[in-house]
Amino acid sequence: MILEHFADTLLTTLLDPRLMLLVVVGVGIGIVLGALPGVSSTMALAILLPVSFGLEPGAAMLFLIAVFMASVYGGSISAILVNIPGTPGAIVTQFDGYPMAQSGRAGHALAYALIASSIGGLIGLTLLITLAPGVVAVAMSFRSPEFAMAAVFGLVLLSFASGGSTFRGILVGLIGLLCGMVGFDALTDVSRFDFGTAALQGGVELVPLTVGIFGLAEVLRNLAARDGALPPVPSIGSMIPPLGSIARLWKTILRGGVVGTFVGAIPAAGSAISVAIAYAQEKRLSRHPERFGKGEPAGIAGPEAANSAGVGGSLVPMMTLGIPGDPITAVLMGALLIHGLRPGPLLFANEPGFVATIYVAVFLAVLLTLVIGFGFMRIIAQVMRVPRALLFTAIALLCVVGSFAIRNSMVDVYVMLFFGVVGYLLYMIRIPPAPLAFGLILGPILEENLRRSLIISGGSWSIFIERPIALALLLLSLAAIVAPLVVPLLRRPSMRPPRDGAP
């Protein structure tokens, strides 16, 4: 059924010049923003989110997912050309991409990344389409107790996620939970933590918070950093690598894509982990591990496939359970909520056409990234030299205008400014700001469903143990807390994955 919707939506989108223009523009902006060091995919999405408010929900998703997908690829461009990852997910791509570019084959490196990225993106999409119905089938039987426990599970995983110490992550997550309590209590409509002001009764909106911590705070960070000019961009040369060497990469790309999707689907695991696994795996399986780090195509293709496949993977928990697995899907979820669409099993039941639109958006974004990437690479490489002062001023402006646009309220602008400063301060004291957003999303889900469960059970906490799925989620949460304490005791030497440095 979903495939019929997919075909229908694909056709109407292809035949609608306005929608296609949105995707093309989204992909173009996405590649450029992704390629700019200092602008992560999350930031690109956060600052462009408000642009989508005026669009109908389907068109907004087409645009935002185009930006998302393209920026994930764009990150590899600066990694290859100037040895600075444009986004955290491209962090491994430079290991082999930069040496290859230095040896005069920049075009080849970019092409390997682009092809692997596109195929990886399609693998992620395919797995998303196949996996989602299964997760939804389970999630359909979710009632209040299960949603409460799913939120607990999400909070536990996400507190490990964001780099730095788990303790600090949890601390910030708790502050996020508190922010989620500002405004009207979901169950009693009593206003809380509003300090007697009407302004705070509407609560802390997700979008101004994410625009603040992922947009404005990053601007402040970049402005405060010493303004090192980018190293010169090497000449790109031919973008057509030998066909044989592309063909030899098919297994690498397939493996990378599958790893990327599954790691991406685990809340909190994130792209930095999946690319590290993909790289390590290719190096281990290669007959020439010594070539890695010196310009080996498999060292580019594996991680890039994993990185782009992660987009499809990260949409699985967000769309099926309403639990964002990383900061990017948290921002995307903000966009859905603005349009009155709450992701979760009900979305699949009530809006199958809209779900298909998201699939179509990923599909078109992948294809157009491939086309635009090959067609305009030389121009994109030049855009990387845009003066940083100009760039960050424009982004700061977008942050302000965008926050106002959410519901035409200056309060949201003040909230955005506040969290921009908070985000920067957190960065200064080396605390990841992303759990703020997770706490803000999951807190109200947890509170509402927990309290409702207890009303239904007449106050008995056994409702969480008597229901099998709720119990399973509770046990998984416990395991996730206990595992990091127990595993080191087993003293199994293993590679520690690099942490996700910047959200």
Partner 1 sequence: MTGSAPLHVLAAGALLAATAAAPQPAAAFPDEPITIVVGWPAGGAQDTVGRLVAEYLEAELPVSVVVTNVPGAAGANGVRDVEQAAPDGYTLGTKGVHAVAQSYMNPNATPLDAMDPLALVNIDPAAVSVHADTGIEDLESFIAYLRDNPGGLINGNDSPGGFSFLTAELMERALDIELTKVPYQGYAPTVSALVAQEVMSATLPVPMVADLHEAGDVNILAVAAEERHFRAPDVPTFTELGHDFVFADYVMIFGPVGLPEDVRDTLESALLAAMDSEDFRAAADGIGLILDPQGADGAAALMQATDAAVHPVLVEAGLVETDAQ
Strand partners, 191: 184
Q: Rule CB under 8 A: which of 169-188 touch partner 1?
A: 183-188
> Which single residue is written with the structure tokens 């930069």?
98
Residue 324 CB-half CA count within 13 A: 25
Q: Give 183's strand partners.
A: 192
Which is closer to partner 1, CB of 205 or CB of 304?
Answer: 205
Give the closest residue to 119 by CA, choosing from 472, 363, 324, 346: 363
- Specify the residue, 53 or 376, whose C-beta has the smaller distance to partner 1: 53
Please report, as residue ranges, which positions from 194 to 223 form the binding site for partner 1 (by CB under 8 A): 194, 197-198, 201-203
Draw the binding track, 305-324, toward partner 1 (x: CB under 8 A; -: no contact): --------------------
Per-residue CA distances from 173 to 157, 163, 439, 447, 457 (Å): 11, 13, 5, 14, 28
CB of 351 vs partner 1, minimal distance in Å: 11
Binding partner 1 (rule: CB under 8 A), the pick from 407, 421, 469, 471 is 407
| Nearest residue (CB) to partner 1, 8 versus 185 | 185
Do residues 60 and 406 touch, judged by C-beta distance below 8 A?
no
Question: What are φ and ψ of residue 466, in 5° steps?
Answer: -75, -25
What's the closest the beta carbon of residue 279 comes to partner 1, in angstroms? 43
Smallest separation, CB 335 to partner 1 (Å): 13
In 3-state terms, what secondary structure has residue 347?
Answer: helix
For partner 1, the binding residues in 334-353 under the rule CB under 8 A are: 338-340, 346, 349-350
Both ends of the chain: CA-CA distance in Å? 36
What the block records as the tokens of 355 is 């779900």
143 counts as binding partner 1 under rule CB under 8 A: yes
Closest CA to 44 of 227, 270, 210: 210
Confirm if 79 and 270 have CB atoms less than 8 A apart: no
CA distance 45 to 64: 7
* Whole-Å CA distances, 448 to 187, 453, 478, 485: 7, 9, 21, 31
Q: Which of 271, 260, 268, 257 is nearest to 324 (CA)?
A: 268
Applying CB under 8 A, among 130, 408, 462, 494 the residue interacting with partner 1 is 408
Strands 191-192 and 183-184: antiparallel
Which range touches partner 1 (CB under 8 A), out of 206-214, 288-296, 388-396, 451-459? Answer: 451-459
Handedness of CA 273, 276, 280, 282 (dihedral sign): positive
Nearer to partner 1, 49 or 156 (CB): 49
**Closer by beta carbon to partner 1, 190 or else 390:** 190
Site stretch for partner 1 (CB under 8 A), options 91-99, 191-199, 206-214, 311-319: 191-199
Least distance in angstroms from the C-beta of 318 to partner 1? 18
Q: Which of 221, 294, 452, 499 binds partner 1 (CB under 8 A)?
A: 452
Which CB atom, from 164 or from 202, has the smaller least distance to partner 1? 202
**What residues contact 386, with CB distance under 8 A and at least 6 apart?**
36
Residues in the interface with partner 1 (CB under 8 A) total 30
- Return the number of the residue (142 or 392) whose C-beta is nearest partner 1: 142
Closer Cβ to partner 1, 344 or 433, answer by number:
344
Shortest spacing between CB 452 and partner 1, in angstroms: 6
Query: Of residues 144, 271, 307, 314, which one binds partner 1 by CB under 8 A?
Result: 144
- Choosing from 455, 465, 475, 483, the residue that interacts with partner 1 (CB under 8 A) is 455
The correct pick among 448, 481, 498, 499 for binding partner 1 (CB under 8 A) is 448
Q: List, in order, residues 6 or more apart from 377 with CB less than 8 Å away.
A: 77, 107, 110, 236, 239
- Using the contact rule CB under 8 A, the part of the chain among 70-78, 300-308, 424-432, 449-457 near partner 1 is 449-457
189 near partner 1, judged by CB under 8 A: yes
**Distance, CA of 152 to CA of 258 (rounded, Å):** 27
54 or 232: whose CB is closer to partner 1? 54
Task: Indicate whether 402 belongs to the interface with partner 1 (CB under 8 A).
Answer: no
Site membership for partner 1, residue 191 (CB under 8 A)? yes
DSSP per-residue string spanning 115-183: HHHHHHHHHHHHHHHHHHHHHHHHHHT--HHHHHHHHHHHHHHHHHHSSS-HHHHHHHHHHHHHHHHSE
Binding to partner 1 (CB under 8 A): which residues in 468-487?
none
Q: How far is the CB of 399 from partner 1 (least distance, A)?
A: 20
By the rule CB under 8 A, 456 interacts with partner 1:
yes
Q: Which residue's CB is nearer to partner 1, number 202 or number 498? A: 202
For 151, half-sphere exposure in the C-beta direction (CA atoms, 13 angstrom radius) is: 23
Residues that bind partner 1 (CB under 8 A): 141, 143-144, 183-189, 191, 194, 197-198, 201-203, 338-340, 346, 349-350, 407-409, 448, 452, 455-456
